[in-house]
Amino acid sequence: MASPPTTEWRETDTGIRLVLEGEWTTAALDRAGWPEAVPDGLAGQDVTVEFHELDGIDSNASLCLRKWFADIEQEAASLTLSNPPVHFEKVCRVLDQPMEEPEAPPRRPLTDWLARLGQATFKAGKIGLDMLTILGQLTVKIATVLIRPREIRITSVVHHMYAAGVAALPIVGLLSFLIGVVTAYQGADQLVRFGAEILTVNVVGIGVLREMGPLIAAIVVAGRSASAFAAQIGTMKINEEIDALRVIGLDPIIVLVVPRTLALVIVFPFLVVYADALAILGGAIMATTALDISFGQFSSQFQAEVPLQNFWVGLSKAPLFASAIAGIGCYQGLQAGQGAAAVGEKTTAAVVQAIFLVIVIDALMSIVFSVLGV
C-alpha cells in the first residue's frame, strides 16, 4: 500500500528544500488533506522542490501543486523544481499555453441572407398559424355564445363598447375632421387649375366614404384598443389570473376574448359613420373657405355625384377591421411571457400587427370591389 502524501521542509546552506513524499492522488489527498497554507519564513529564501520520493501523482494533485507553488513563489526569492514527474510537466505545459481565439466562421453573404430569410419566413408562418388557430377558436366560441345567449357577459360587452367606442370619439372625430380638411385642400389645389373645383366635393365624398373614414377610424382604434387588450390580458396572464379562470372551470376565450370582440364589432360601424360625418364636415368647411362653395352647393353636388353605395362599401369593412383589431390584441395578450418587458413587447406587437392587418384587409377589399365593379 502506498504511503500517504506528505511534505517535508529542510533547511540547507543554499536555501530551503521542499521534499514531496508518498502518493499524491485525489483519493490520498482527500484523506490526508490538501496543501493550502504557505509556511512563514520563506521571504528572501531560495526554495527547491524535490519530487524523487513521490510514489505517484494525478492531474488533480498536479493542478493543486501548481497553484501552491505559485503562492510559494510570491513569498520566496526563487522556486526551483528538481526532476518533476512527466505527468506534472504535461499538465503545466497545457495550462501555460496561451488561449487561442476561435476562428470566426467564414462569411457567406448569400447563404447567411438566405438563412435569415428562412428564419423570418418560419417565424412569420408560425405567427400566422397561431393567429389562424385563435381565429378559429374565437369563431367557434362566438357561434357558441350566440346559440346560447346566456353565456354572453353583457356587462363586459357594454364596458368594452364604452372603452373602445365612446372613449375614442374625440380623437377619431378630430383626426377625421382634419383628414377631410386636408383631402379637400389637396384636391382643390389640383382641380382649380382646370376650373373644376366643384369636383372637390366628389373627391372628398368618395375618398372619405370608401377609404379614409373607415381606415382612419381603424388605425385609431388599433392604436387604442389593440394595445389595451394586449396589455390587459398580458397582465392577467402574468398574475396567473388566466390559469385561475381555467381552474374554476371558465373558458378564458369566452370570458376575455369574446366580449372584447363582440363589443368592437358592434361599436365600430358607428365609429365609421361618425368618422365619415366629421371628415365630410371638414371637407365642406374647407371647400367653403377656400373655394367659395356654399354649403348648399356642397350638399347638392354631394347628393348628385356621390352614390350611396360608397357609404356601404366603406361600412362593409367595419366588421372585418374590428375582428382583426380585437383578435390581434387578444392574441398578443395571451402570448405574453413573464415580466413587464414581455407585456410591453406584446403591446407594441399588437399595435403594429393590427395596423398592418387593417391595411392589408383594406387593400384586398379594394381589389375585390374593383374587380366586381362596385
The domain segmentation of the chain, as residue ranges, is 6-96, 121-372
Residue 270: which pLDDT band, with cuts at 50, 70 and 90?
very high
Q: Please tell me the predicted confidence (pLDDT) of residue 36.
A: 64
pLDDT of residue 294 exceeding 60, the answer is: yes
Across the chain, mean pLDDT equals: 82
Q: Please tell me the predicted confidence (pLDDT) of residue 2.
A: 62
Residue at 294: amino acid letter: S
Domain 6-96: CATH architecture, name and number where available? 2-Layer Sandwich (3.30)
Q: Please tell me the predicted confidence (pLDDT) of residue 219.
A: 92
pLDDT of residue 155 exceeding 60, the answer is: yes
Q: Report phi then psi at 357, rounded to 5.
A: -70, -35
Q: Is 181:285 a contact under the CB 8 Å cutoff?
A: yes
pLDDT of residue 160 exceeding 70, the answer is: yes
Burial 18-27 (b: 16+ CB within 10 A, else e): bbbbbbbbee
Q: Please tell me the predicted confidence (pLDDT) of residue 264.
A: 92
What average pLDDT does this structure show over 154-182? 90
> Nearest-CA neighbor of 321 among 196, 189, 225?
225
Q: Please tell me the predicted confidence (pLDDT) of residue 171.
A: 92
Classify strands 78-82 and 15-24 as parallel, antiparallel or unpaired: unpaired
Q: Please tell me the predicted confidence (pLDDT) of residue 28.
A: 77
Q: Is 188:285 a contact under the CB 8 Å cutoff?
A: no
Determine whether 105 is exposed, middle or buried from the number of CB atoms within 10 Å of its CB (0-12, 13-18, 19+).
exposed
Residue 341: which pLDDT band, with cuts at 50, 70 and 90?
confident
> Which range is least confidently modeled, 78-82, 174-178, 303-307?
78-82
Residue 220: which pLDDT band, with cuts at 50, 70 and 90?
very high
CA 273 from centre of chain: 34
d(CA 271, CA 214): 8
1 or 240, which is more confident? 240
State the pTM of this model.
0.65
Q: Please tell me the predicted confidence (pLDDT) of residue 196.
A: 73
What average pLDDT does this structure show over 75-83? 75
SS3 155: helix
SS3 288: helix
Q: Please tell me the predicted confidence (pLDDT) of residue 295.
A: 81
Range ranked top by mean pLDDT from 71-85, 125-139, 205-219: 205-219
Classify strands 46-57 and 15-24 as parallel, antiparallel or unpaired: parallel
Q: Please tell me the predicted confidence (pLDDT) of residue 90.
A: 78
With a CB cutoff of 8 Å and minimum separation 6, the contacts of 94 are: none
pLDDT of residue 173 exceeding 80, the answer is: yes
